[in-house]
Amino acid sequence: MDINDKSGYQHYTPNENRYHNINYKRCGQSGITLPLISLGLWHNFGHADDLLKGQDILRTAFDLGVVHFDLANNYGPPYGAAETNFGRLMNTDFTPYRDELFISSKAGYDMWPGPHGNFGSRKHLISSLDQSLKRMNLDYVDLFYHHRPDPETPLYETMCALDYIVRSGRALYVGISNYPADMASEAIDILDSLGTPCLIHQARYSMFDRWVEDDLLDTLAQKGVGCIAFSPLAQGMLTSKYVDGIPERSRADNPMTYLQRETVEQQLPRIKALNKIALARGQSLSDMAIAWLLKDQRVSSVLVGVSSAEQLRQNVAGLGKTQFSEDELTAIARILA
Ligand SMILES: NC(=O)c1ccc[n+]([C@@H]2O[C@H](COP(=O)([O-])OP(=O)(O)OC[C@H]3O[C@@H](n4cnc5c(N)ncnc54)[C@H](OP(=O)(O)O)[C@@H]3O)[C@@H](O)[C@H]2O)c1
């Protein structure tokens, strides 16, 4: 069935109990609370993907109370496709619930040809967000990020652009992503001075990638800025799916993704050892990997991707057990060292 084929369209009635499935946590010192698990549309929403599956994922998310959907200008492929497909699903299913959703997008990576299609100029950020809003059929996003640091544009220009984006009504909040701690600190101070506080930093953080623990998490906590951890399952490596080899149609099986087969093979001994600890805790490895991040009060939400609605159901259902004994933490630290 095609999503445009209205004759086959199944009307969507959201779960009335959608806010009874997941807890919400305050994001830094802001007025916003986020679900402990948020949903990213980096993968599985491109033009080659099955949009009915995407619809199932988004409906399931909303039914579970996962109201934060994260996009970017260049998610696809091709660039823009995830926002276009999300916009179609907004139209069919979610327009009546716009105020319940917290939708983010970003700009700062390669998007269109020429000198203005990338990085952090005022020109790039405002033009890109205007394109994103059209693709998503939205009047505004709840959160707009500068996607990565720009080595050349003055930070002040980038932050002034974010401030303008809020003042012009295109976004309610702004954030930064992939900024190292010192640059994040400077950006947050500039935004404060402009009167548009930085809501959140979106940083890669998982058991396999712990760079944020050096300085960033403390910096954000001191400044009252939230942290949302992206790729919390290390793109699927921190699940049990690779324990017995690389399954067909998994991310590592797809040469078009950033997850290399060799990386999975290198990590396999650690994956197996962590899997054993998870099983001894009565948890799946993915549930343990998410719990391990959420045990840190400085983490506001974990931003997962899923290739099926069932994966999201499992991730939300697995949120119960977030306590770790000292012995478990020591054993995990030894594996990750
Ligand atoms: N700011 C940035 O620069 C940046 C960069 C990257 C990502 N992000 C954001 O972070 C989001 C998440 O990134 P990610 O997709 O790499 O996150 P991830 O959660 O680490 O990995 C997602 C993959 O894990 C597997 N998975 C998830 N739940 C599972 C379960 N219950 N059982 C088995 N496998 C499961 C699936 O793999 P299979 O596909 O193999 O089934 C899924 O595609 C993105 O969508 C995007 O919004 C931001």
Ligand 1 atom with the shortest distance to the CA of 233: 20
Closest Cα to atom 33, ligand 1: which residue?
239
Atom number, ligand 1, closest to the C-alpha of residue 250: 40
Q: Is 233 in the pocket of ligand 1 (CB under 6 A)?
A: yes
The pick from 275, 303, 315 for probing ligand 1's pocket by mutation, whose C-beta has the most ligand atoms within 8 angstroms, reads 303
Tens-level pLDDT at each residue, the chain (337 residues): 455 565 567 899 999 999 999 999 999 999 999 999 999 999 999 999 999 999 999 999 999 999 999 999 999 999 999 999 999 999 999 999 999 999 999 999 999 999 999 999 999 999 999 999 999 999 999 999 999 999 999 999 999 999 999 999 999 999 999 999 999 999 999 999 999 999 999 999 999 999 999 999 999 999 999 999 999 999 999 999 999 989 999 999 999 899 999 999 999 999 999 999 999 999 999 999 999 999 999 999 999 999 999 999 999 999 988 899 999 999 999 999 9
Give the pLDDT of residue 8.
63
Q: Is 45 in the pocket of ligand 1 (CB under 6 A)?
A: no
Return the residue whose CA atom lies nearest to atom 21 of ligand 1. Answer: 235
With a 6 Å cutoff on the Cβ, whether 242 touches ligand 1 is no
Q: What is the DSSP letter of 17?
A: T
74 pocket-lining for ligand 1 (C-beta < 6 Å): no
- Identify the residue whose C-alpha is closest to ligand 1 atom 8: 230
Closest by CA to 76, choosing from 86, 67, 88, is 86
- Ligand 1 centre to CA of 303 (Å) is 8
Cα 207 to middle of ligand 1, angstroms: 14
Q: Is 83 in the pocket of ligand 1 (CB under 6 A)?
A: no
The pTM is what?
A: 0.97
Q: Ligand 1 test: best mutation among 285, 311, 314, most atoms within 8 Å of CB?
A: 311
Give 131-136's long-range contacts (Cβ < 8 A, gap of 24+): 131/73, 131/80, 132/71, 132/73, 132/83, 132/105, 132/107, 133/170, 135/80, 135/83, 135/84, 135/86, 135/87, 136/71, 136/83, 136/84, 136/86, 136/87, 136/90, 136/103, 136/105
**Which residues is 204 bridged to in the sheet?**
230
191-195: long-range pairs with CB below 8 Å, 24+: 191/159, 191/162, 191/163, 194/159, 194/160, 194/163, 195/163
**Structural class in CATH, domain 32-236+298-321:** alpha beta
Q: For residue 249, which atom of ligand 1 is closest to its CA? A: 40
> Residue with the nearest Cα to atom 31 of ligand 1?
311
Residue 130 CA to ligand 1 centre (angstroms): 26
Confidence at residue 320, expressed as pLDDT on a 0 to 100 scale? 86
Compute, in angstroms, the gap from residue 260 CA to the centroid of ligand 1.
14
176 touches ligand 1 (CB under 6 Å): no
Residue found under tokens 């109201």: 67
